[in-house]
Structure 1
Amino acid sequence: MSSDATPNPYAEPVAFGQRMQILRSRRGMSRGVLAGLLGRSPSWVKQVEGGRLQMPKLPMVLRIAEALRVRDLSELTGEASTAVPLFAGPGHPRLPLVREAVDEFPLTTHRQAPPTRHLRERLVRAWSARHSAANHRDVIGALLPDLIRDAQLTVAQAESADERRTAQALLAEVYSLSQFFLAHQPDPSLLWRVVERAMVAAQQSEDPHTIGVAAWLAAQAHRDSGHSHFDAADAVTMRTLHHLEPFLPAASDEVLAIAGALRFEAGHTAARRGASGTAWRFWDEARAVADRLPPDYFHPVTSFSRAVMGAHAVTVAVELHSGAESVRQSAAADATSIPSRPRRARHRIEEARGYQLDGRSEAALAALAGAYEAAPETVRYNGYARRIVLEEAESRSPAQRRRAGELAVRIGALAS
């Protein structure tokens, strides 16, 4: 191996600081950016990476793992005893069947594709079931294999250009539903195959709403991949907004809603970058779009609505690492008005992040307990929730340690 080759952070022996530096470099993150995310100085990061400071205590290790988006804590620590999944949740029992359906193409089957109206009705029911179920991955995981196969078959058997465009729109939407199941599971290559197929099918459908939904999910996949993918997230978002612009003056509610959801995604990525003014500007633009929608409108894929804008404001404040503003926005938001159980749970997790930033650990655990009550699977697969409960399990307060430990066991972050 050449002297300038990148070391393998998983080859022993490699010290904690070296692993931290390698993982940071691989994600295209500067010391200054990582320091800002951790609330420390660049010189502190340099000293840890250089071995002049010992490995921090667990709460800071968890924050470093969050900032570097490591999938398992042992990637950072190098210790098999700390093999705790963070941003990749457990593999769902239905994952193999969904993977099989995604990888299977109906080239030799003689089965007749279902009518497109039947496929559309099944998709409507699937989205409704996802929003109403506490264990939504289990529900949609049961539906997806047949939906994927039937949607692929509908495209293969389309006989005219119009039929093919309609079928591609349905296939793109099925792939979009699949992404909600696959997110944060330990098969990122499968997730990216679905992301890319959804984008291709959406473009071939030529339907503005379908294109917007596929782009919305692709932007999230890029952003969640880490700092080096933020530019790709922005490119997808802004190009799609430009594509949708001519449709907006006379747009349907669903096209208007996806345009609003994309504007918020631009703000979310800006907040991850630490660009406060840009983040809040996009939030304001998204709110203006939400105000054009009927008061009770709720987008079935993105949850975009008037009701969700308060939750979005909490997310922006949390991503900007402003604890006080996060708490203020949490007080103003009305989670009960969000009709989706997983989206309510996600909002409670964002509240927990804000409370912890503000030094209110008890309120953070209470918010996570509320998230678990709304949708246990959302908490089990959420890296931020796992990080908070593991960190609070090290609290100096015995009562706090007990509450955090009990919740950690319930979500599968610690063995019982």
Structure 2
Amino acid sequence: MADETETLGQRMRRARLRLGLTQADVAARLRRTQSWVSKVESGDIELDRASVINALAGVLHIHPNELIERPFTGSTAENQWQVSAALTLRELRRYDLAPTFEGAPRSAAELWTAMRQLHLLRDEADNTAILTLLPDLLREARALAETAGGREREEAYAVYAVACKFGHTSAHALGHPELITLAAERAGWAAQRSGDPLLPAVVDWMRAWDMWATADWDDALALGDKALRGVSAAYERGEAPALRVWGSLQLRAAVSAARAGNAVEAEHRLKLADESARRVTAGSQPVDDRHSLTFSAGNVGIHRVNVALELSQQDEALRLHERLDPEVVGALPASRRGHYRMDLARAYLWSGQRDRAFTELAAAERIAPQLIRNHPIARATLRRIVYGERTGVREQLRRMSARFHLSA
């Protein structure tokens, strides 16, 4: 964390003064106290909740990434993903121009097979590797859509849309707001041409995530409900892909409701996701993950823990964790398990168990190092552990000095 040129509090103060706002102004808009704002600016309070960071950024009219100084800098090798991001942006910007692809593109079936590598990389939270592969894949899918017709053309657009989704996920993980926005827009454009009735709902799932950056929790819920209406018929028929899309939308809605402070709505959405997970498990149809949605009973379980944390119920989060079947959690991809361990680190930290918090954060890093090292909440949690340790040592030294009758 030595690469951070300013603290969050310093960036917050600079943005506040740029708008001519007082600490009391910011406090009133956040429904906090002036003392709380002052402590955040001075670094006495570490922000380790995405909902609070996003709400604060909204009051200051800046992107959350500006507030947390993201993307985080690293070594030359660690920064190479930005080259791939720029190449991906180039392909997305020229979406309606003739593709620059030499030779004949592969068939849609072959492109879907190639996409399996992106699924594996997503599961391992290797977002930089995903961005390395994306430009060529987007270019080839676009070339196929340009030269093919009928169902083959629609499938080419479906590949393009899901490839955009991979770019969207990677951009979120690495902190690239321009790529986040453009990937969602192009996914929507391609989804409408794909012939896949579920893809527009998947794009809305992406957009609801983006609305969290501006703390538009109610809009995220409304968008999710629009998407749910679009897949409800297929869900009622029990179609396996629709069950996964429906459940994923309900989980996103549950988090949106929790961040809005609506515990009743969050619980309602979790129950609906539970029902969808049961239907997925009971179904005889093979799992079709062409939309790259990690949805299962295990994913619902870890979302329950996350929702409890969003509602500041860390003790309940830990109780839910104790009741979760470790095998169910262990079956989840590394990206989800890493995020879950990061949530547990926060829960233990907030309950005063700093050592357990560090253990969970270390486990999260081992499971999904790229994800955790680039995640602002993980970094904030680590800062709280480090500063708490320093404070504890200082207090121990002060007490020992007093016992030895030494001046502090």
**TM-score, with structure 1 as normaliser:** 0.76
| Match of residue 113, structure 1, among 105, 109, 126 | 105
Deviation at 1:100, TM superposition (A): 1.6
| Match of residue 241, structure 2, among 236, 254, 265 | 254
Matches of residues 95-174 of structure 1 in structure 2 within 5 Å? 95-104=82-91, 105=94, 107=98, 109=100, 111-131=103-123, 133=124, 136-160=126-150, 162-174=151-163
**Residue 335 of structure 2 contacts residue 371 of structure 2 at CA under 8 Å; is this kept in 1?**
yes
Letter in 1 for 2:135: P
Give the whole-Å Cα distance in 2 for the aligned partners of 1:15 and 1:303: 35
Give the whole-Å Cα distance in 1 for the aligned partners of 2:99 and 2:164: 22
Instruction: Please tell me whether residue 60 in structure 1 is matched to residue 45 in structure 2.
Output: yes
Matches of residues 373-392 of structure 1 in structure 2 within 5 Å? 373-392=366-385
Letter in 1 for 2:140: D
Instruction: Please tell me whether residue 226 in structure 1 is matched to residue 214 in structure 2.
Output: yes
| Match of residue 212, structure 1, among 201, 206, 214 | 201
In structure 2, the residue matched to 1:341 is 334
Give the whole-Å Cα distance in 2 for the aligned partners of 1:63 and 1:130: 24
Matches of residues 259-338 of structure 1 in structure 2 within 5 Å? 259-294=246-281, 299=289, 301-334=292-325, 336-338=329-331
**Residue 85 of structure 2 contacts residue 179 of structure 2 at CA under 8 Å; is this kept in 1?**
no
Letter in 1 for 2:358: L
Q: Match of 1:294, SS?
A: helix
Q: Match of 1:302, SS?
A: coil
Give the whole-Å Cα distance in 2 for the aligned partners of 1:32 and 1:328: 34
In structure 1, the residue matched to 2:400 is none
In structure 2, the residue matched to 1:412 is none
In structure 1, the residue matched to 2:398 is none
Give the whole-Å Cα distance in 2 for the aligned partners of 1:275 and 1:237: 16
In structure 2, the residue matched to 1:38 is none
Give the whole-Å Cα distance in 1 for the aligned partners of 2:139 and 2:166: 14
Deviation at 1:56, TM superposition (A): 5.6
**What do residues 9-60 of structure 1 show as CA deviations (whole Å, max 9, x unaligned)?**
x9xxx996674587898xxx9746735xxxxxx3x23x566xxx57665241
Deviation at 1:265, TM superposition (A): 0.7
| Match of residue 358, structure 2, among 350, 353, 365 | 365
Deviation at 1:375, TM superposition (A): 0.9
Give the whole-Å Cα distance in 1 for the aligned partners of 2:385 and 2:288: 35
Give the whole-Å Cα distance in 2 for the aligned partners of 1:337 and 1:59: 37
Letter in 2 for 1:114: R
Percent identity over the alignment? 22
Instruction: Please tell me whether residue 238 in structure 1 is matched to residue 225 in structure 2.
Output: yes
Give the whole-Å Cα distance in 2 for the aligned partners of 1:64 and 1:354: 11
Instruction: Please tell me whether residue 193 in structure 1 is matched to residue 185 in structure 2.
Output: no
Q: Match of 1:365, SS?
A: helix
Letter in 2 for 1:282: R
- Cα RMSD of the aligned pairs, angstroms, is 3.5
In structure 1, the residue matched to 2:401 is none
Matches of residues 3-42 of structure 1 in structure 2 within 5 Å? 19-20=15-16, 31=27, 34-35=30-31, 42=32
Give the whole-Å Cα distance in 1 for the aligned partners of 2:361 and 2:44: 17
**Residue 48 of structure 2 contacts residue 377 of structure 2 at CA under 8 Å; is this kept in 1?**
no
Deviation at 1:365, TM superposition (A): 1.3
Sort the Cα spacing of 1:24 and 1:345 in 2 relative to 1 into closer, same or farther, 3 A: farther
Letter in 2 for 1:236: L
**Residue 13 of structure 2 contacts residue 41 of structure 2 at CA under 8 Å; is this kept in 1?**
no
**What do residues 58-117 of structure 1 show as CA deviations (whole Å, max 9, x unaligned)?**
241435997234999xx99xxxxxx99566444741232232233233616353222111
Letter in 2 for 1:62: L
In structure 2, the residue matched to 1:79 is none
In structure 2, the residue matched to 1:353 is 346
Sort the Cα spacing of 1:151 and 1:102 in 2 relative to 1 into closer, same or farther, 3 A: farther
**Residue 176 of structure 1 contacts residue 198 of structure 1 at CA under 8 Å; is this kept in 2?**
yes
**Residue 317 of structure 1 contacts residue 323 of structure 1 at CA under 8 Å; is this kept in 2?**
yes
Letter in 1 for 2:184: V
**Total equivalences in the alignment:** 362
Give the whole-Å Cα distance in 2 for the aligned partners of 1:183 and 1:169: 21
Letter in 2 for 1:112: A
Give the whole-Å Cα distance in 2 for the aligned partners of 1:309 and 1:108: 40
Give the whole-Å Cα distance in 1 for the aligned partners of 2:176 and 2:271: 35
Q: Match of 2:45, SS?
A: helix
Give the whole-Å Cα distance in 1 for the aligned partners of 2:331 and 2:153: 35
Give the whole-Å Cα distance in 2 for the aligned partners of 1:369 and 1:92: 23
